[in-house]
Copies of this chain bind each other. A is one copy, B any other.
């Protein structure tokens, strides 16, 4: 897959510098953090519903919407994708038992 989330994040960052009004992303950023977070939460709800309903195509679509709004939220909050990858790598490096212990404590 040539298209990574890191690349997408660059696209997003570029878009942010465009004029407000000509992009959905710019308009969303202009509405503020609470609204972006709200949209993320809404897309998560839709993702949950399509997963439980068992519709694979809609799950892919809702997942894309969820990821998109997550990236916008990162951009708004100044979170670098690298920070998230680091957390993911840490999680992957742990054995299941260690992870479970940690979750319980």
The chain A residues found within 8 Å of chain B, CB to CB, are 1, 3-6, 8, 11, 21-27, 33-34, 36-38, 40-42, 44-49, 51-54, 56-57, 59-61, 63-68, 70, 73-74, 76-79, 81-89, 91-92, 95-97, 99-100, 103
> What B residues does A83 contact at CB under 8 A?
57, 60
Interface of A is mostly: helix
Q: Is the CB of A34 within 8 A of B52?
A: yes
Assembled-state Cα–Cα distance A102/B71 (Å): 21
* Known contacts A45-B45, A48-B40; A23 and B60 CB within 8 A of each other: no
Q: Is the CB of B37 within 8 A of A96?
A: no
> What B residues does A26 contact at CB under 8 A?
96
